[in-house]
């Protein structure tokens, strides 16, 4: 598919990708910025092609943020066995979710996700110490099985619907595994990279990526994500907690508005 756009349109898309990467690098949720920009500025492009094009930028940005979290003396501690298992399972289920898009009604998912986000925001706001300490509470087979369940559920969700996956992963790693916000954010990036690879593989195989738009957006998303991860590492868990609440609140308003319009 050949789509010709103006320099101004490409600039605005790249600006949105940078902003999405900045938010995503800290707490996830960059799709709240990037996807609406793609839909608004490319109205003639089919939605699957929009999603495929956006996945290129998202994967590049998430990978850049992950690299920043794992690099140097400020590297975030990772429980690689659990996070790795969750990532592999999530990637497999993301591919299943992408293939199921055409057969299921996404509108049925919106109320459930909205309810989850409201509960997440309320619990995080109420528990002032939530995510402030890194004290993993699961071990052995229980930890691995929880990782498999988390990867399967959120991997499928990311491939099928997508918005809010990073924030859902972050909350799960804090609430279920006992990580602090920084470790949870880094762990969420590992899983998100896997789901993005799987989803992108599906979109590439079906020819639904506009590379002349996706590649400049990917470069801008990478810059934003690297900066976002750096800010998160510098400011610490309290800063990430506040930003997490702001992003989740944004998702709640966005999904609520979409449901109201529907």
Domain boundaries, the chain: 7-261
Do 32 and 246 meet the contact criterion of CB atoms below 8 Å apart? no
- CA distance readout (Å), 45 to 5, 135, 211: 11, 46, 13
Determine whether 112 is exposed, middle or buried from the number of CB atoms within 10 Å of its CB (0-12, 13-18, 19+). Answer: exposed
Looking at residue 123, its pLDDT comes to 76
Instruction: Look at the chain and count its residues.
Output: 262
Question: Is the Cα torsion angle 136, 137, 143, 145 positive or negative in sign?
Answer: negative
Determine whether 73 is exposed, middle or buried from the number of CB atoms within 10 Å of its CB (0-12, 13-18, 19+). Answer: exposed
Q: Which residues of the chain, if any, have pLDDT below 70? A: 1, 72-74, 101-110, 129-131, 163
H or E element at residue 176:
none
Convert the pLDDT of each residue in 154-191 to its tens digit.
999 887 777 678 888 988 999 999 998 889 989 999 99
Looking at residue 116, its pLDDT comes to 76
Q: Which of 83, 59, 61 is nearest to 197 (CA)?
A: 59
Looking at residue 29, its pLDDT comes to 77
Query: 31-41 and 47-70 are packed helices; what angle lies between their axes, rounded to 10 degrees?
Result: 150
């Amino acid at each position: 598919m050949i789509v010709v756009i103006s320099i101004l349109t490409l600039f605005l898309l790249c600006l949105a990708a940078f902003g999405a990467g900045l938010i995503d690098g800290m707490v996830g949720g960059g799709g709240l910025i990037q996807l609406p920009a793609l839909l608004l500025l490319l109205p003639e492009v089919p939605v699957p092609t929009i999603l495929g094009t956006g996945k290129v930028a998202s994967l590049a940005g998430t990978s850049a943020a992950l690299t920043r979290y794992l690099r140097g003396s400020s590297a975030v501690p990772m429980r690689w066995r659990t996070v790795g298992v969750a990532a592999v399972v999530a990637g497999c289920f993301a591919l299943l979710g992408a293939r199921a898009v055409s057969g299921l009604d996404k509108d049925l998912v919106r109320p459930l996700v909205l309810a989850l986000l409201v509960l997440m925001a309320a619990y995080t706001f109420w528990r002032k110490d939530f995510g402030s300490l890194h004290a993993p509470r699961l071990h052995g087979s229980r930890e691995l099985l929880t990782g498999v369940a988390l990867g399967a559920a959120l991997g499928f969700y990311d491939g099928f619907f997508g918005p809010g996956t990073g924030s859902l992963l972050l909350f799960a790693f804090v609430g279920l595994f006992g990580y602090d916000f920084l470790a949870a954010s880094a762990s969420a990036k590992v899983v998100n990279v896997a789901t993005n690879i799987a989803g992108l593989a599906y979109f590439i195989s079906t020819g639904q990526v506009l590379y002349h738009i996706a590649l400049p957006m990917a470069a801008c998303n990478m810059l934003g994500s690297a900066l976002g991860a750096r800010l998160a590492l510098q400011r610490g868990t309290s800063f990430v907690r506040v930003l997490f609440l702001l992003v989740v609140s944004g998702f709640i308003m966005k999904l609520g508005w979409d449901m109201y319009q529907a």
